[in-house]
Every structure is written in structure tokens, then in C-alpha cells.
Amino acid sequence: MRLLVALGVVVALPTAARACPGCQNPNLPMVRSGGVHLGEGELKLGATLATQPIWVRHDAGCADVDDCAEVPVQPAYVHDQFILPSELRATVDWGLTGAFGVEAQIPVRMVYTTIDYETPQGDPYAPLDADVHHRDETLVGLGDPQVSVRYGAAVGGAWWVVGRVGTSLPLGRTEPDPFAAGDRGETHQHIQFGTGTFDPLVGLEVARGFGRLQLAAYGQAQAALYDNEHGFRAGATSLVGLQGGWRAGERFVVQSSFEWFRQGPETWDGEEQQDGILGRDELLVGVGTAFSFGGPQYTALVRVPVYRQIHQGTETEEGELTSPVSVALGIQWTL
């Protein structure tokens, strides 16, 4: 119990983040895609709802207004922002043969944000450009769907190996360069619902059962290979992990996982923006369950970052980011 309390305190502490964390495009960490077993002619339909609360604070303005390069000129103050990115992802897995299958995922994203401004002493503050960078708003839109081909085979009679190759489809809404608009003092949007490019993805998974114990090792990666029409290129993402499951009954499995998630820097016209996504690394510990009452299978997964490193710039104000947990709830029907 003491260890759990200590872990909860550690993951709830803010992470230092040089640059404007609220000026970034908030993305959920990758989730292990698809399952292991998919029989010939088998059709699996599912949906997963995921969310992750984020609190960010960063400084703005100038300590000395007589020597200030910012526009408009205003005294030092603090941005205090809450961001709640959420995603509902529909999935379809279809077994064409005993080995080959196709998979598709269609995400709908929602991002809820609020913003408060205050002086360094904690008093309310009304900035001259209050709505240029941040606003109280709720954004909803289609993300980039993914399609992939999978091949699965039993190896050595006990191991099951699955490989995936696919791509995202650029159907999510994209925004023009928000940093260029910000430099001009124009209202802009940092949140991208898609990348505007076809981004290839690959995955490999190895699994085996030992009676009631189920073990799996997996890795997946996705990368944008070119700029979209606005000059934006999303950062490459990757996830590697180990998962163990214990079948506590005929219809109930308890799972735990250790995952390393990496997100690379995004670029605009080939340049990394100091206030944009410069990359992050996270070690995620997850606890979950899968169960059924004879119909669909239900899943729940809670992940906490026991280690987080936000890649930092050198030319902007320091900030703090707190995001102690991500949650995913799912349901899947097998036809």
C-alpha cells in the first residue's frame, strides 16, 4: 500500500517542460493495436474510448516591459490550462484465411480545453491577446483512419506470431501553421485532428499461453514521410511493450503491462518550433482486465507514466505539465 501511494504521488507531480505545453497538439499515447488470434472468416467489431487529462502552466509576458520583445508588450503573467483529449475508435478485424486478415480503425476525436490567466502572485489577469493562443472550447472531429494487412502463424506449436503493415488515411482536419499566425498576432489553432499525409505503420507481436498465464511482446511504429499541404509533418511514434494476463476464470482475465512510448518532434516547413511538440518519452505501467458474460468482450486499461521525459527547447519560457493517468474502455463482438 505504501508503494502504491508513493507511486501515485510521483506520477501526479508536474513534469518540467520548457516551451508552451498548451501550444502543442495533445495526443494520447499509442495503444497496442488489434488482437492475436483471428480465424478464417471471423469478423470482430469493436469500439474503444480513451482519455487522458492534462494540466499545463507556463509563463508569458515580460518581467521588464521597458525591454520587451514580445507583441503585444505586457507584464509577466501565467497561462493555466486544462486539456482533455478523448478518442472513440471503432475497429474492424476480418480473417480472410487462417493466416491473412485485414484490420481497420476509425477514430473520432474530442478535445476539451479551458484557460485561466493570472499574475505571478496568483491574482486574475486579462491579457491583451487572450483569445489568440488559447480559448475555452470543445473541438470534435474525425481523426485519420488506419487500414492494415495482418499475417499470423503458429511457430513451434506454442508461439503465435502476428505481423502488420498498413497506413493511415488523411481524412482528419488539419490546420495551417499556427506559429506563423501567432507571430502575426492572429487567432490560430494548434490542435490537428489528422496529419494530412499517408503515414505508413508496421507492427509485430509474439504471444504464448502457459495454462492460465498469457504472455505477449509487441512493437509498433508509425511515421510521416513527407509534409502536408500546410508544411506540417507529424513526429514519428513508436510503442514497445510486454503484457501478462492471468485467466482467473472462464470469462475473466487480469492483465498488466510495461510499455515504452516515444513521440518524435513535429516540423513546419522542415523546422522544429520551440513552442511545438519537440518529442517525449514515457515508460507506462498498465493494469487492465478483459471479461465477458457470454456475449461481447469488455476491456478496461489504466496506464500511468512512471517515467516521462519531455524534450525541451532552449529559447522559450519554462512550463509545467501534469498528466498522471490515461484510461481506455473497450467492447468487442466476435461474429
- What pLDDT, in 10s, does the model give residues 112-158? 999 999 998 889 998 888 788 888 999 999 999 999 999 999 887 78
Residue 251 pLDDT more than 90?
no
Of the given ranges (20-24, 90-94, 146-150, 238-242), which has the lowest mean pLDDT?
20-24
If one counts the domains in the chain, the total is: 1
With beta carbons less than 8 A apart as the criterion, state whether 276 and 179 touch.
Answer: yes
Q: Which residue has the higher pLDDT, 2 or 175?
A: 175
State mean pLDDT over 44-58.
Answer: 92
List, in order, residues 6 or more apart from 1 with CB less than 8 Å away: none
- In angstroms, the Cα distances linking 198 to 107, 131, 167, 225, 234 are 15, 32, 6, 8, 11
Of the given ranges (20-29, 64-73, 74-83, 277-286), which has the lowest mean pLDDT?
20-29
Grid cell listed for 114: 479551458
DSSP state of 326: E
Long-range CB contacts (< 8 A, 24+ apart) of 302-305?
302/326, 302/327, 303/29, 303/257, 303/259, 303/327, 303/328, 304/7, 304/11, 305/11
Length of the chain as a residue count: 335
With beta carbons less than 8 A apart as the criterion, state whether 144 and 172 touch.
Answer: yes
DSSP state of 41: T
Q: What integer pLDDT is reported at residue 93 of this predicted model? A: 95
Q: What integer pLDDT is reported at residue 31 of this predicted model? A: 77
List, in order, residues 6 or more apart from 242 with CB less than 8 Å away: 215, 216, 217, 257, 258, 259
Q: What integer pLDDT is reported at residue 22 of this predicted model? A: 53
Q: What integer pLDDT is reported at residue 279 of this predicted model? A: 82
With beta carbons less than 8 A apart as the criterion, state whether 101 and 150 touch.
Answer: yes
Residue 26 pLDDT more than 70?
no
Residue 291 pLDDT more than 80?
yes
Identify the domain containing residue 305 by its residue range.
2-334
Task: Assess whether the previous peptide bond of 296 is cis (omega < 30° from 0).
Answer: no
Grid cell listed for 231: 508544411
Q: What integer pLDDT is reported at residue 60 of this predicted model? A: 83
DSSP state of 124: B
DSSP state of 195: -
Residue 10 pLDDT more than 60?
no
Q: Which of 242, 192, 228 is nearest to 24 (CA)?
A: 192
Whole-angstrom distance, CA of residue 170 vs CA of residue 313? 29
Residue 15 pLDDT more than 80?
no
Q: What integer pLDDT is reported at residue 4 of this predicted model? A: 46
> Which residue is associated with the grid cell 478535445?
111
State mean pLDDT over 4-9.
Answer: 50
**C-alpha angle 5-9-12 in degrees, rounded to nearest 5:** 135
State mean pLDDT over 3-12.
Answer: 50
Q: What integer pLDDT is reported at residue 191 of this predicted model? A: 87
* Rounded-to-10 torsion of CA 303, 304, 305, 310: 90
Grid cell listed for 19: 516551451
CATH of the domain at 308: 2.40.160.40
pTM, two decimal places:
0.87
